[in-house]
Chain A
Amino acid sequence: MLQVSLPHYLVVGALLFAFGLVTVSTRRNAVGVLMGVELLLNAANVNFVAFNHYVMEGVSGQVFGLFVIVLAAAEAAVGLAIVLAIFQTFKTIDVREADLMRE
Protein backbone atom coordinates (compact mmCIF):
# COMPACT_ATOMS: atom_id res chain seq x y z
CA MET A 1 0.00 0.00 0.00
CA LEU A 2 2.10 2.83 -1.25
CA GLN A 3 -0.39 5.65 -1.05
CA VAL A 4 -0.12 7.27 2.34
CA SER A 5 -3.06 6.92 4.68
CA LEU A 6 -3.66 6.72 8.40
CA PRO A 7 -1.77 3.44 9.08
CA HIS A 8 1.46 4.93 7.76
CA TYR A 9 1.39 7.71 10.32
CA LEU A 10 0.50 5.25 13.06
CA VAL A 11 3.50 3.13 12.09
CA VAL A 12 5.76 6.17 12.38
CA GLY A 13 4.25 6.91 15.78
CA ALA A 14 4.75 3.31 16.86
CA LEU A 15 8.41 3.33 15.81
CA LEU A 16 9.04 6.61 17.60
CA PHE A 17 7.38 5.20 20.71
CA ALA A 18 9.41 1.99 20.65
CA PHE A 19 12.68 3.86 20.23
CA GLY A 20 11.72 6.25 23.00
CA LEU A 21 10.96 3.32 25.27
CA VAL A 22 14.32 1.72 24.49
CA THR A 23 16.07 5.02 25.19
CA VAL A 24 14.36 5.49 28.54
CA SER A 25 15.15 1.93 29.58
CA THR A 26 18.79 1.58 28.53
CA ARG A 27 20.38 4.98 28.84
CA ARG A 28 22.70 5.63 31.76
CA ASN A 29 22.88 9.37 31.18
CA ALA A 30 19.96 11.16 32.82
CA VAL A 31 19.73 13.69 29.99
CA GLY A 32 19.54 10.76 27.58
CA VAL A 33 16.57 9.43 29.51
CA LEU A 34 14.87 12.80 29.15
CA MET A 35 15.50 12.70 25.41
CA GLY A 36 13.69 9.38 25.35
CA VAL A 37 10.75 10.91 27.15
CA GLU A 38 10.59 13.61 24.48
CA LEU A 39 10.46 10.88 21.84
CA LEU A 40 7.57 9.19 23.64
CA LEU A 41 5.62 12.43 23.77
CA ASN A 42 6.26 13.13 20.11
CA ALA A 43 5.02 9.68 19.19
CA ALA A 44 1.76 10.30 21.02
CA ASN A 45 1.49 13.69 19.35
CA VAL A 46 1.92 12.22 15.87
CA ASN A 47 -0.91 9.83 16.67
CA PHE A 48 -3.13 12.65 17.89
CA VAL A 49 -2.63 14.79 14.81
CA ALA A 50 -2.91 11.87 12.40
CA PHE A 51 -6.24 10.82 13.87
CA ASN A 52 -7.40 14.40 13.81
CA HIS A 53 -6.62 14.63 10.11
CA TYR A 54 -7.97 11.29 8.97
CA VAL A 55 -10.82 10.44 11.32
CA MET A 56 -12.09 13.45 13.21
CA GLU A 57 -13.80 16.64 12.26
CA GLY A 58 -12.51 19.86 13.78
CA VAL A 59 -9.22 20.61 15.48
CA SER A 60 -9.56 18.85 18.83
CA GLY A 61 -6.65 16.54 18.08
CA GLN A 62 -4.42 19.49 17.30
CA VAL A 63 -5.48 21.28 20.48
CA PHE A 64 -4.51 18.14 22.40
CA GLY A 65 -1.22 18.13 20.54
CA LEU A 66 -0.67 21.71 21.57
CA PHE A 67 -1.23 20.81 25.20
CA VAL A 68 1.18 17.90 24.87
CA ILE A 69 3.84 20.24 23.51
CA VAL A 70 3.28 22.70 26.36
CA LEU A 71 3.47 19.98 28.99
CA ALA A 72 6.51 18.40 27.38
CA ALA A 73 8.35 21.70 27.49
CA ALA A 74 7.38 22.23 31.13
CA GLU A 75 8.43 18.71 32.06
CA ALA A 76 11.72 19.04 30.20
CA ALA A 77 12.50 22.22 32.09
CA VAL A 78 11.79 20.73 35.50
CA GLY A 79 13.50 17.45 34.60
CA LEU A 80 16.66 19.20 33.53
CA ALA A 81 16.60 21.36 36.65
CA ILE A 82 16.48 18.14 38.65
CA VAL A 83 19.35 16.72 36.58
CA LEU A 84 21.40 19.81 37.33
CA ALA A 85 20.63 19.50 41.04
CA ILE A 86 21.65 15.83 40.96
CA PHE A 87 24.86 16.80 39.20
CA GLN A 88 25.60 19.34 41.91
CA THR A 89 25.07 16.72 44.59
CA PHE A 90 26.52 13.53 43.13
CA LYS A 91 28.99 15.10 40.67
CA THR A 92 27.71 12.68 38.02
CA ILE A 93 24.54 12.17 36.02
CA ASP A 94 24.81 8.42 35.74
CA VAL A 95 21.38 7.21 36.80
CA ARG A 96 22.89 4.25 38.57
CA GLU A 97 25.01 6.45 40.81
CA ALA A 98 22.22 8.68 42.09
CA ASP A 99 20.94 6.25 44.65
CA LEU A 100 20.70 8.21 47.89
CA MET A 101 17.51 9.83 49.04
CA ARG A 102 19.19 12.60 50.96
CA GLU A 103 22.77 13.70 51.00
Chain B
Amino acid sequence: MKSNVGKLIFWVVVSALVIGFVVAITGRAILPAAEAAPLTAGGAAGLPDVVFYALAAVTVAGAAGVALSRNILWSAIGLLAALLGVGGLYVMLSADFLAVTQLLIYIGGVLVLVLFAVMLTNRIVDVNVSNVSAGLYGGVLIFVATIPVLLTVALVTPWRLRAIGEAAYTTGLIGNALLTRWLLPFEVASLILLATLIGAVVTARKEIKAD
Protein backbone atom coordinates (compact mmCIF):
# COMPACT_ATOMS: atom_id res chain seq x y z
CA MET B 1 0.00 0.00 0.00
CA LYS B 2 1.41 3.35 -0.91
CA SER B 3 1.61 5.92 1.77
CA ASN B 4 -0.42 9.07 1.49
CA VAL B 5 2.54 11.13 0.28
CA GLY B 6 3.37 8.51 -2.32
CA LYS B 7 -0.22 8.54 -3.58
CA LEU B 8 -0.25 12.32 -3.74
CA ILE B 9 2.98 12.44 -5.72
CA PHE B 10 1.62 9.76 -8.05
CA TRP B 11 -1.54 11.69 -8.76
CA VAL B 12 0.30 14.98 -9.26
CA VAL B 13 2.63 13.35 -11.77
CA VAL B 14 -0.23 11.68 -13.61
CA SER B 15 -2.22 14.93 -13.73
CA ALA B 16 0.77 16.83 -15.07
CA LEU B 17 1.31 14.19 -17.74
CA VAL B 18 -2.33 14.22 -18.77
CA ILE B 19 -2.53 18.00 -18.97
CA GLY B 20 0.76 18.14 -20.83
CA PHE B 21 -0.47 15.54 -23.29
CA VAL B 22 -3.73 17.38 -23.91
CA VAL B 23 -2.02 20.72 -24.44
CA ALA B 24 0.67 19.22 -26.67
CA ILE B 25 -1.75 17.29 -28.86
CA THR B 26 -4.13 20.19 -29.21
CA GLY B 27 -1.51 22.81 -29.81
CA ARG B 28 0.89 20.97 -32.02
CA ALA B 29 -1.13 18.48 -33.99
CA ILE B 30 -4.69 19.66 -34.27
CA LEU B 31 -4.69 23.43 -34.39
CA PRO B 32 -2.08 23.90 -37.10
CA ALA B 33 -3.81 21.32 -39.28
CA ALA B 34 -7.07 23.21 -39.24
CA GLU B 35 -7.64 26.19 -41.47
CA ALA B 36 -9.40 29.17 -40.08
CA ALA B 37 -12.93 27.85 -40.04
CA PRO B 38 -15.48 30.46 -39.11
CA LEU B 39 -17.10 29.25 -35.97
CA THR B 40 -19.77 31.93 -35.83
CA ALA B 41 -21.31 31.30 -39.20
CA GLY B 42 -24.78 29.90 -39.43
CA GLY B 43 -28.29 31.14 -39.26
CA ALA B 44 -30.68 31.67 -36.46
CA ALA B 45 -32.03 28.79 -34.45
CA GLY B 46 -35.25 27.30 -35.71
CA LEU B 47 -37.55 24.75 -34.17
CA PRO B 48 -35.52 21.71 -35.32
CA ASP B 49 -32.50 23.22 -33.59
CA VAL B 50 -34.44 23.58 -30.35
CA VAL B 51 -35.49 19.95 -30.64
CA PHE B 52 -31.89 18.95 -31.23
CA TYR B 53 -30.71 20.81 -28.14
CA ALA B 54 -33.41 19.18 -26.04
CA LEU B 55 -32.50 15.70 -27.27
CA ALA B 56 -28.80 16.38 -26.81
CA ALA B 57 -29.44 17.58 -23.26
CA VAL B 58 -31.37 14.39 -22.46
CA THR B 59 -28.61 12.25 -23.96
CA VAL B 60 -25.73 13.92 -22.17
CA ALA B 61 -27.63 14.05 -18.89
CA GLY B 62 -28.30 10.34 -19.18
CA ALA B 63 -24.64 9.65 -19.91
CA ALA B 64 -23.63 11.73 -16.90
CA GLY B 65 -26.08 9.74 -14.82
CA VAL B 66 -24.51 6.47 -15.95
CA ALA B 67 -21.03 7.68 -15.09
CA LEU B 68 -21.69 9.45 -11.82
CA SER B 69 -24.55 7.69 -10.07
CA ARG B 70 -23.98 5.90 -6.81
CA ASN B 71 -26.87 3.53 -7.34
CA ILE B 72 -26.64 1.03 -10.20
CA LEU B 73 -30.36 1.38 -10.91
CA TRP B 74 -30.00 5.10 -11.44
CA SER B 75 -27.24 4.25 -13.89
CA ALA B 76 -29.63 1.98 -15.76
CA ILE B 77 -32.21 4.79 -15.94
CA GLY B 78 -29.50 7.14 -17.15
CA LEU B 79 -28.62 4.62 -19.84
CA LEU B 80 -32.27 4.51 -20.84
CA ALA B 81 -32.31 8.29 -21.20
CA ALA B 82 -29.09 8.25 -23.20
CA LEU B 83 -30.37 5.57 -25.58
CA LEU B 84 -33.69 7.39 -26.03
CA GLY B 85 -31.87 10.61 -26.76
CA VAL B 86 -29.63 8.93 -29.30
CA GLY B 87 -32.70 7.42 -30.98
CA GLY B 88 -34.20 10.88 -31.23
CA LEU B 89 -30.95 12.22 -32.67
CA TYR B 90 -31.10 9.53 -35.34
CA VAL B 91 -34.50 10.84 -36.35
CA MET B 92 -33.05 14.35 -36.60
CA LEU B 93 -30.37 12.90 -38.89
CA SER B 94 -33.07 11.37 -41.15
CA ALA B 95 -32.03 7.82 -40.21
CA ASP B 96 -35.53 6.55 -39.63
CA PHE B 97 -34.86 2.81 -39.78
CA LEU B 98 -31.89 3.14 -37.50
CA ALA B 99 -33.89 5.14 -34.97
CA VAL B 100 -36.57 2.48 -34.68
CA THR B 101 -33.91 -0.24 -34.59
CA GLN B 102 -32.18 1.62 -31.77
CA LEU B 103 -35.39 1.73 -29.76
CA LEU B 104 -36.30 -1.87 -30.45
CA ILE B 105 -32.93 -3.52 -29.98
CA TYR B 106 -31.02 -1.26 -27.66
CA ILE B 107 -33.80 -0.27 -25.30
CA GLY B 108 -36.08 -3.25 -25.80
CA GLY B 109 -33.27 -5.79 -25.81
CA VAL B 110 -29.98 -4.67 -24.38
CA LEU B 111 -31.36 -2.43 -21.65
CA VAL B 112 -33.83 -5.08 -20.53
CA LEU B 113 -30.97 -7.58 -20.46
CA VAL B 114 -28.89 -5.18 -18.37
CA LEU B 115 -31.77 -4.70 -15.96
CA PHE B 116 -32.16 -8.46 -15.67
CA ALA B 117 -28.50 -8.79 -14.83
CA VAL B 118 -28.70 -5.95 -12.28
CA MET B 119 -31.67 -7.51 -10.55
CA LEU B 120 -30.25 -11.01 -10.56
CA THR B 121 -26.91 -9.96 -9.11
CA ASN B 122 -28.16 -7.33 -6.75
CA ARG B 123 -26.10 -8.05 -3.73
CA ILE B 124 -23.73 -5.16 -4.03
CA VAL B 125 -24.82 -2.00 -2.27
CA ASP B 126 -21.85 0.23 -2.77
CA VAL B 127 -21.46 0.10 -6.52
CA ASN B 128 -19.50 3.21 -7.25
CA VAL B 129 -16.35 4.65 -5.88
CA SER B 130 -16.99 5.90 -2.39
CA ASN B 131 -15.59 9.02 -0.84
CA VAL B 132 -12.09 7.78 -1.57
CA SER B 133 -10.88 10.40 -3.97
CA ALA B 134 -8.54 8.19 -5.99
CA GLY B 135 -11.20 6.62 -8.14
CA LEU B 136 -13.23 9.78 -8.60
CA TYR B 137 -10.15 11.82 -9.38
CA GLY B 138 -9.03 9.21 -11.89
CA GLY B 139 -12.39 9.51 -13.59
CA VAL B 140 -12.12 13.28 -13.75
CA LEU B 141 -8.63 12.92 -15.17
CA ILE B 142 -9.82 10.60 -17.89
CA PHE B 143 -12.62 13.01 -18.72
CA VAL B 144 -10.18 15.90 -18.90
CA ALA B 145 -7.83 13.86 -21.06
CA THR B 146 -10.37 12.99 -23.73
CA ILE B 147 -12.79 15.90 -23.94
CA PRO B 148 -10.56 18.79 -25.06
CA VAL B 149 -8.96 16.82 -27.87
CA LEU B 150 -12.29 15.52 -29.16
CA LEU B 151 -14.03 18.89 -28.87
CA THR B 152 -11.19 20.67 -30.62
CA VAL B 153 -11.26 18.23 -33.49
CA ALA B 154 -15.04 18.49 -33.73
CA LEU B 155 -15.20 22.27 -33.67
CA VAL B 156 -12.07 23.36 -35.51
CA THR B 157 -11.89 21.01 -38.48
CA PRO B 158 -13.31 22.47 -41.67
CA TRP B 159 -15.71 19.71 -42.55
CA ARG B 160 -16.74 19.48 -46.18
CA LEU B 161 -20.49 19.41 -45.86
CA ARG B 162 -22.59 18.22 -48.74
CA ALA B 163 -25.81 19.74 -49.99
CA ILE B 164 -28.51 17.86 -48.13
CA GLY B 165 -31.41 16.93 -50.35
CA GLU B 166 -34.79 15.76 -49.34
CA ALA B 167 -34.98 13.04 -46.73
CA ALA B 168 -35.88 9.64 -48.11
CA TYR B 169 -37.12 6.52 -46.43
CA THR B 170 -33.96 4.62 -45.63
CA THR B 171 -35.39 1.16 -45.04
CA GLY B 172 -35.34 0.15 -48.69
CA LEU B 173 -31.96 1.77 -49.23
CA ILE B 174 -30.45 -0.07 -46.25
CA GLY B 175 -31.98 -3.34 -47.41
CA ASN B 176 -30.53 -2.91 -50.86
CA ALA B 177 -27.15 -1.96 -49.43
CA LEU B 178 -27.11 -4.97 -47.12
CA LEU B 179 -27.69 -7.32 -50.02
CA THR B 180 -25.39 -5.74 -52.57
CA ARG B 181 -22.46 -3.83 -51.18
CA TRP B 182 -22.48 -5.01 -47.58
CA LEU B 183 -23.35 -8.65 -48.18
CA LEU B 184 -20.24 -10.15 -46.61
CA PRO B 185 -20.51 -8.21 -43.32
CA PHE B 186 -24.17 -9.14 -43.25
CA GLU B 187 -23.38 -12.84 -43.43
CA VAL B 188 -20.55 -12.51 -40.93
CA ALA B 189 -22.93 -10.71 -38.56
CA SER B 190 -25.34 -13.63 -38.70
CA LEU B 191 -22.46 -16.00 -37.91
CA ILE B 192 -21.52 -13.79 -34.97
CA LEU B 193 -25.08 -13.90 -33.68
CA LEU B 194 -25.05 -17.70 -33.86
CA ALA B 195 -21.77 -17.82 -31.96
CA THR B 196 -23.14 -15.36 -29.41
CA LEU B 197 -26.24 -17.46 -28.88
CA ILE B 198 -24.23 -20.60 -28.24
CA GLY B 199 -21.67 -18.81 -26.12
CA ALA B 200 -24.19 -17.06 -23.90
CA VAL B 201 -26.14 -20.23 -23.24
CA VAL B 202 -23.02 -22.25 -22.46
CA THR B 203 -21.48 -19.56 -20.26
CA ALA B 204 -24.45 -18.83 -18.07
CA ARG B 205 -25.41 -22.38 -17.35
CA LYS B 206 -25.29 -23.51 -13.75
CA GLU B 207 -22.82 -26.30 -13.24
CA ILE B 208 -24.48 -29.47 -12.02
CA LYS B 209 -22.16 -30.62 -9.29
CA ALA B 210 -21.61 -34.33 -9.23
CA ASP B 211 -21.93 -35.50 -5.63
**B-binding residues in A (CB < 8 A):** 1-23, 25-29, 31-32, 34-36, 38-39, 42, 45-46, 49-50, 52-60, 62-63, 65-67, 69-78, 80-85, 87-88, 91-94
Q: Which residues of A contact B45 (CB under 8 A)?
A: 2-4
The 10 closest A-B pairs by CB, nearest first: A10-B154, A14-B150, A19-B63, A3-B42, A74-B196, A81-B204, A81-B203, A2-B45, A29-B127, A26-B139
Q: Which residues of B contact A53 (CB under 8 A)?
A: 93-95, 164
Q: Which residues of B contact A8 (CB under 8 A)?
A: 52, 56
Tell which of B66, B118, B128 touches A19, judged by Cβ atoms closer than 8 Å: B66
Q: Pick the contact of A54 from B49, B139, B153, B164 — CB < 8 Å? A: B164
Contacts of A31 in B (CB 8 A): 72, 114, 117-118, 121
A84 proximity list for chain B (CB < 8 A): 117, 120-121, 203-204
In the bound complex, what is the Cα–Cα distance between A27 and B76 (angstroms)?
A: 13
Instruction: Give the chain B neighbours of A77 by CB distance below 8 A.
Output: 113, 196, 200
Q: How far is the CA of A26 from the CA of B42 in the complex (A)?
A: 39
B43 on interface, CB distance cutoff 8 Å = yes
The majority secondary structure among interface residues of chain B is: helix
Q: Given the complex, which residues of B lie within 8 Å of A63, measured CB to CB?
A: 174, 177-178, 182
Interface size of B in residues (CB-CB distance below 8 Å): 91
Number of A-B contacts (CB under 8 A): 255
Cβ-neighbour of B113 out of A18, A21, A76 (below 8 A)? A76
- Given contacts A4-B48, A46-B86, A67-B185, 7 further A-B pairs with CB under 8 A are A18-B150, A26-B128, A38-B106, A70-B193, A73-B109, A85-B203, A88-B207
Which of B1-9, B13-21, B24-32, B96-104 touches A? B96-104
**Interface residue B39 (Cβ < 8 Å from any Cβ of A):** yes
